[in-house]
Chain A
């Protein structure tokens, strides 16, 4: 009888595999989910790029780089990450100030720092450094934090978020702010404060309107009435809804979306790629992706809860929920629920920096989680 033999051999392979994963501080289910999502993303991008193979191969290369970043960061001991946090934060803020200064000279939006062979966006670093700094600050203080402490954390968030919003890069500023605020929420900010804060934010909305750039106001107005500006900001929303709606349940088929392939849909390989999925792969394709995202977020929250110290939990939880913010803001924007904000669809949209940051975040999450076996608290 050979069947049991094969079974036992395969079981042995599984145990070896899980041992290897453990040695490398990796989480099997999470790896599988990320791989499936990234693979699905490449498939969609191939179609969205309209046979632009160079663009597609570049994305594959960036995915490779992002995976490498994740694997490397997962190996860094958690206490090291914690020690490096203030350094990373201060360096990040300094770079943001530098970039703002250079932008002043260059007279225009400046987000990049050109360091010879690579162009680096300091605001991407802040997506991770800000929540880590918040957690670093709260980690050895009794929680829930007192009012002055909470205000201190808010200051930690506001400084870089404000600098990034000035660039102006509203999408990234939003993600950085969300990552920091999520730490405060997860640390157990008392509910009355949460609601008071939400109320305050709602009351401050008209004030924000006052500070917005004209094009940002236009985007908000356009959301309310896309037909008001069919050539400008409204064009994106109208075209992406036509793309999604015309896809139906099963879609028009991969590489067959007329909206996407005939270039009616703007930014179809970057921020609006979710509409391509809707048109070509239909409701089922989109729900499949949303299901994957939900599983990733769920698994990440689960892993966060497994962390044995406050720093780990707060950072991991923030990384999990920031990922959700990406997903929600992008899909909400593409489906016309939210105003147009430049936030990519994680692991799917074309563009290297956000992918590297995302997978680096998951690397950190895995490193923090693997801490539990090494340190007893």
Chain B
């Protein structure tokens, strides 16, 4: 027979009561055990612990590691650690605090507005501690301090190691900078490693190679008395004080050429934009410039709020890394690649010609896609179309290819995805396709790809955007005629103790194989014609060069002009003016350097961007050739 359990409320209550009593007993016993433990610690062993707490004790002082040094490709120091001077105050040694404050202000060593902060700081520290009251002393400050030193008892100069960038703003967007550690930074790293460290990489290489540059922190045990004051070790009777030396961070050897970088930045002048120069045979980045620049030393020393605000409020956005993060329509600079795509797809032959009346129309449409030259270029073949930058030729070619074939071809060259350069923050830009439009737009009507949108992609406009780095990266394929490498800034890492340098091999990407290898030369010849041909757009910029340049100018529209209007530069606000672009490699036969230049709102690629690239080529190729072997 099966027994059915019923709920017996009275029994449940009795069970609970019993269990609660047992629980109460267990609670009492266990808390009794804690009390017993307390008796043991506080009564039986009290003397022992009292001695430990009163006598000299060991305090652990962190020893920060030396941050790795950064060298350029010629071994020039780009980032190092130098002593920085700060003013410290030890309260118990200051006879009259207020009088000392007044003197510090009078001597210009402290600002009156800083006093409340300093007072608060002193109040929270112990009497014998040297509290930094002013960071970042200039040489003048140190001089004034030295003169008045006798009037300032208890005020001392202290040194600490601070990051210093000898070239200042040159190359700042590649190097990045270090700054004081924020809470967000501590989430990225192991906080116990950063106990004694004052600064951490914030941007650029300093950030991306933080784990390599930082090194390993050490510590030192010091004896302190019951007040916490450091005391000398008494002979014998004291435990051995341990010291664990910090291990310095690794040094970086860059592919960057800081003097070439300087040439590029100086050529940019006051203009906003970016310059990239790279070795197409290794992906080594020799120049990564974004202008305007700023001085990273300000950050490394501890930037003032005023200075920081000035940088962030600047309408020219100096902190913005245009080389990696700026995405712009590539404009006509992609015409050689477009021509190559046409040859590969077999839809055009180099000798095929097209008549350019100054505009292009799609079948069954009355919309006129205008050429930059109103009167047209007449009949042009492929070489002439590239040389004169004929828009109509490429409108037609793009319409024949269709957007998806263009997308596939350009994706192989690296458009629409990060190049994989070894610093953070790179943007992908957009390489449009029908699939891209489906995912980028929400409603069904906006997801449709229109033939007209393909037409303007043919001249690097429309949805297509790319970073200056991507432009250089894609142009590098034309320079090598196939082999392709991931751009990189760090060529080798040097161990600070053994001084041994470990090279990082360059990372090859899949080589671009053409069905018709002869097409490479067709395109390169067309690009040489740009700088040498009768109507080449960059002839003036290339005049007098001792080497041959294969290049392509570009002028990217920021602002669209109506059907019947005429573009008038003077009347359009500076910020709406076209971006000027130029991509090139030289020497054309055996390329050693690829350069991409972008000048925001610069106007024409031929007159504004090309001369900047020329300056970089001249500095690299025209003087005594560099000592390194040419691959």
A interface residues, Cβ below 8 angstroms from B = 51, 108, 140-144, 146, 182, 185-188, 231, 241-249, 258-259, 262-264, 278-279, 282-283, 286-287, 290, 293-294, 297-298, 301, 304-305, 310, 313-314, 317, 321, 324, 327-328, 331-332, 335-337, 377
Contact of B23 among A243, A247, A321 (CB under 8 A): A321
Q: Whose C-beta in chain A lies nearest to the C-beta of B24?
A: A301
Query: Given A143-B7, A249-B46, A310-B16, 14 more contacts at CB 8 Å?
Result: A143-B11, A242-B49, A243-B53, A245-B45, A245-B50, A246-B54, A248-B50, A283-B39, A286-B42, A294-B28, A298-B24, A328-B27, A328-B30, A377-B9
Supposing A286-B38, A336-B37 touch, asked if A258 and B13 sit within 8 A by C-beta, the answer is no
Q: Does B150 contact A (CB under 8 A)?
A: no
Which residues of A sit under 8 angstroms from B52, Cβ to Cβ? Answer: 242, 245-246
Q: Does B379 contact A (CB under 8 A)?
A: no
Which residues of B sit under 8 angstroms from A249, Cβ to Cβ? Answer: 42-43, 46
Supposing A188-B19, A248-B42 touch, asked if A141 and B7 sit within 8 A by C-beta, the answer is yes
Query: A122 vs B124: C-alpha distance in the bound complex, in angstroms?
Result: 36
Supposing A144-B15, A246-B50, A246-B54 touch, asked if A317 and B23 sit within 8 A by C-beta, the answer is yes
Give the residues from 45 to 103 in chain B that come closer than 8 angstroms, CB to CB, to chain A: 45-46, 48-50, 52-54, 57, 59-60
B195 to chain A, nearest CB (A): 11
Which residues of A sit under 8 angstroms from B572, Cβ to Cβ? Answer: none
Contact of B35 among A243, A248, A290 (CB under 8 A): A290
B410 to chain A, nearest CB (A): 32
Which residues of B sit under 8 angstroms from A328, Cβ to Cβ? Answer: 27, 30-31, 34
Supposing A241-B41, A246-B46, A317-B23 touch, asked if A290 and B31 sit within 8 A by C-beta, the answer is yes
Supposing A249-B42, A283-B43, A301-B24 touch, asked if A244 and B49 sit within 8 A by C-beta, the answer is yes
Q: Does B227 contact A (CB under 8 A)?
A: yes
Query: A195 vs B20: C-alpha distance in the bound complex, in angstroms?
Result: 17
Supposing A142-B5, A321-B23, A377-B9 touch, asked if A337 and B38 sit within 8 A by C-beta, the answer is no
Which residues of B sit under 8 angstroms from A141, Cβ to Cβ? Answer: 7
Are B34 and A335 in contact, with the CB atoms below 8 A?
Answer: yes
13 A–B contact pairs at CB < 8 A?
A142-B7, A186-B20, A187-B12, A243-B53, A246-B54, A248-B42, A258-B226, A279-B53, A283-B38, A293-B31, A310-B16, A328-B30, A377-B9
Q: Whose C-beta in chain B lies nearest to the C-beta of A308?
A: B13
Q: How many residues of B sit at the interface, in one of the four size bands? A: 35 or more
Query: A182 vs B26: C-alpha distance in the bound complex, in angstroms?
Result: 13
Are A301 and B227 in contact, with the CB atoms below 8 A?
Answer: no
Supposing A298-B24, A304-B20, A332-B34 touch, asked if A143 and B219 sit within 8 A by C-beta, the answer is no
B interface residues, Cβ below 8 angstroms from A = 5-9, 11-13, 15-17, 19-20, 23-24, 27-28, 30-31, 33-35, 37-39, 41-43, 45-46, 48-50, 52-54, 57, 59-60, 124, 187, 219, 226-228
Are B38 and A246 in contact, with the CB atoms below 8 A?
Answer: no
Q: Whose C-beta in chain B lies nearest to the C-beta of A257?
A: B53
Which residues of A sit under 8 angstroms from B9, Cβ to Cβ? Answer: 310, 377
Contact of B38 among A108, A185, A298, A335 (CB under 8 A): A335
Are B227 and A313 in contact, with the CB atoms below 8 A?
Answer: no
Q: Whose C-beta in chain A lies nearest to the C-beta of B228?
A: A262
Supposing A142-B7, A186-B20 touch, asked if A321 and B226 sit within 8 A by C-beta, the answer is no
Are B49 and A337 in contact, with the CB atoms below 8 A?
Answer: no
Are A188 and B7 in contact, with the CB atoms below 8 A?
Answer: no
Query: A242 vs B55: C-alpha distance in the bound complex, in angstroms?
Result: 12
Query: A293 vs B28: C-alpha distance in the bound complex, in angstroms?
Result: 10
Q: Whose C-beta in chain B lies nearest to the C-beta of A309?
A: B9
Q: Whose C-beta in chain A lies nearest to the C-beta of B57?
A: A264
Q: Whose C-beta in chain A lies nearest to the C-beta of B12?
A: A143
Query: A182 vs B33: C-alpha distance in the bound complex, in angstroms?
Result: 21
Query: A153 vs B3: C-alpha distance in the bound complex, in angstroms?
Result: 23
Closest 6 CB pairs of A and B: A245-B49, A246-B53, A188-B15, A142-B5, A245-B41, A246-B49
Which residues of B sit under 8 angstroms from A293, Cβ to Cβ? Answer: 31
Which residues of B sit under 8 angstroms from A242, Cβ to Cβ? Answer: 49, 52-53
Are A245 and B15 in contact, with the CB atoms below 8 A?
Answer: no
Are A297 and B27 in contact, with the CB atoms below 8 A?
Answer: yes
Which residues of B sit under 8 angstroms from A182, Cβ to Cβ? Answer: 23
A283 to chain B, nearest CB (A): 4
Which residues of A sit under 8 angstroms from B46, Cβ to Cβ? Answer: 245-246, 248-249
Are B54 and A335 in contact, with the CB atoms below 8 A?
Answer: no
A281 to chain B, nearest CB (A): 11
Query: A340 vs B46: C-alpha distance in the bound complex, in angstroms?
Result: 23
Query: A298 vs B50: C-alpha distance in the bound complex, in angstroms?
Result: 35
Query: A30 vs B261: C-alpha distance in the bound complex, in angstroms?
Result: 75
Which residues of A sit under 8 angstroms from B124, Cβ to Cβ? Answer: 51
Supposing A335-B38, A335-B41 touch, asked if A305 and B16 sit within 8 A by C-beta, the answer is yes
Are B13 and A313 in contact, with the CB atoms below 8 A?
Answer: yes
Query: A336 vs B49: C-alpha distance in the bound complex, in angstroms?
Result: 14
Are A185 and B226 in contact, with the CB atoms below 8 A?
Answer: no
B12 to chain A, nearest CB (A): 5
Query: A186 vs B12: C-alpha distance in the bound complex, in angstroms?
Result: 10
Supposing A241-B49, A242-B49, A246-B49 touch, asked if A335 and B20 sit within 8 A by C-beta, the answer is no
Q: Whose C-beta in chain B lies nearest to the C-beta of A321?
A: B23
Which residues of A sit under 8 angstroms from B49, Cβ to Cβ? Answer: 241-242, 244-246
Are A297 and B24 in contact, with the CB atoms below 8 A?
Answer: yes
Q: Whose C-beta in chain A lies nearest to the C-beta of B60?
A: A231
Are B53 and A259 in contact, with the CB atoms below 8 A?
Answer: yes
Are B53 and A258 in contact, with the CB atoms below 8 A?
Answer: yes
A85 to chain B, nearest CB (A): 19
